[in-house]
Structure 1
Amino acid sequence: MLDQAKNIDEIKVRTDDMPSEMRLLLSDYPRDSWEAHPGFHEKTRHWLGAHQMFRRLANRVRLDAETYLDGKYELDYYGGRLAYYGNVLVGNLHGHHGWEDHSYFPELSKADARFDAGLAVLEQDHADLDKVLDHFTRTANRAIQLIQLDEAQVRDEVGKLHGNAEMIEAFLKRHLSDEEELAVPIILHHRLRG
């Protein structure tokens, strides 16, 4: 755990476009055509819906920290929201990424070797995001404990938490978009998940 905490400062959120080898089918299946494609099934819609939920939860956690830091939330109220939304975000992201790594990605890789070109990038994102989520969890737990023990230190801890929440949000923005733009064209091309 300490190694992960030290490495959090070394983690850089990818900001560049996904590699061209990950874009091979995207030109044939652009994002704005997905819903109308006959190969777009409910399972894919649910997967994309989970991604939207993660984006909203990360945004909520960041905005809640800002609202508390601006003095617009009472401490106990903020602590309850942090405990609830932070837990939902972290728990669901871990479960989702575990399912992708062990079930979904192998299915896509088996169907189309072109998926493998982007798989290493996505798996590294998952490993880096796990470190960021671990750091977030420890910081959130400390902030919640300080609400009961030392209110004066809570603001500093929530300030750290806010920076971590911004990192999670930036991570998800890039990662989820790349993941979707790699996976969905393969799903549509091979009529998977029907």
Structure 2
Amino acid sequence: MLDTDTIRQTEMPEEMRFLFDQYPRDSWDAHPGFKEKTRHWLGAHQMFRRVAERVRLDTESLLDRGMELEDYAGRLSHYGGNLVGNLHGHHGWEDRSYFPELSAADPRFDAGLEVLEQDHADLDQVLDDFTRTANRLIKLSDLDEVQAREEAGQVHATAATIEAFLKRHLSDEEELAVPIILHHRLRG
């Protein structure tokens, strides 16, 4: 299990902001270099934020007794599996394809790449912890409701960690990558 205190809590390092002031977030949509591929990538990030929030909110509903355990277990299986599987796939694609493209276009990207890759490694550990705990709760939902509800506290803590992690990491990633894409007219 990853010690969540070791996960980066700080804002994006200044060396990662080299083009962000020139291409602030509120100007992206209007930029002629902002193409469909970039919109899809940002859309995937929005989906991850929403699904992580959904898992946390559902768990809070279970803990507050606003949702039946059987319903929660099904939703946790669906949304939790969706979140974990798609994040692993997305980050693998970024590491193998997307980040090398950005690095080749602008070597200054490498200053932030190390930070983002460490984030991906840390997130993988958190997702593994979440998967183990969520799977245990789902199994217990058929065997022992009291124990399953006790396990929900750990699922909630890990889901909240994932949600906070994604909020910071995805924003940092976007604010590093999109200005490079716009500046070099990539992904057209």
| Fold-level similarity (TM above 0.5) | yes
Question: What is the Cα deviation at residue 9 of structure 1?
Answer: 2.3
Q: TM-score, normalised by structure 1?
A: 0.95
2:119 matched residue in structure 1: 125
1:87 matched residue in structure 2: 81
Question: What is the Cα deviation at residue 13 of structure 1?
Answer: 3.3
Question: What is the Cα deviation at residue 11 of structure 1?
Answer: 4.6
Equivalent residue runs for 1:16-27 within 5 Å: 16-27=10-21
Q: TM-score, normalised by structure 2?
A: 0.98
State the alpha-carbon separation in 1 of the partners of residues 35 and 93 from structure 2.
Answer: 19
**Aligned CA distance change for structure 1 residues 115 and 126 (closer, same or farther; 3 Å):** same
Matched, 1:33 2:33: no
Question: What is the Cα deviation at residue 12 of structure 1?
Answer: 3.0
Aligned length: 188
1:168 matched residue in structure 2: 162
State the alpha-carbon separation in 2 of the partners of residues 19 and 141 from structure 1.
Answer: 36
**Aligned CA distance change for structure 1 residues 175 and 159 (closer, same or farther; 3 Å):** same
Alignment equivalent of 1:58, drawn from 39, 52, 57: 52
Gaps of 5+ in 2: none
State the alpha-carbon separation in 1 of the partners of residues 49 and 8 from structure 2.
Answer: 16
Alignment equivalent of 1:114, drawn from 97, 108, 112: 108
Contact 1:51 1:176 in 2 (8 A): yes
- Return 32-41 or 146-155, whichever deviates more: 146-155
Alignment equivalent of 1:139, drawn from 133, 140, 154: 133
State the alpha-carbon separation in 2 of the partners of residues 43 and 95 from structure 1.
Answer: 17
1:149 matched residue in structure 2: 143
Question: What is the Cα deviation at residue 14 of structure 1?
Answer: 2.3
- Return 14-23 or 175-184, whichever deviates more: 14-23
Gaps of 5+ in 1: none
Identical counterparts, % of pairs: 73
Contact 1:13 1:170 in 2 (8 A): no
Contact 1:13 1:167 in 2 (8 A): no
State the alpha-carbon separation in 2 of the partners of residues 157 and 60 from structure 1.
Answer: 18
Contact 1:11 1:128 in 2 (8 A): no
Question: What is the Cα deviation at residue 15 of structure 1?
Answer: 2.4
State the alpha-carbon separation in 2 of the partners of residues 10 and 24 from structure 1.
Answer: 29
Question: What is the Cα deviation at residue 87 of structure 1?
Answer: 0.3
Alignment equivalent of 1:101, drawn from 80, 88, 95: 95
Which residue identity lines up with residue 96 of structure 2 in the other structure? H
State the alpha-carbon separation in 1 of the partners of residues 128 and 7 from structure 2.
Answer: 16
DSSP 3-state at the match of 2:7: coil
Which residue identity lines up with residue 82 of structure 1 in the other structure? L
2:181 matched residue in structure 1: 187
State the alpha-carbon separation in 2 of the partners of residues 34 and 102 from structure 1.
Answer: 25
Q: CA RMSD in A?
A: 0.8
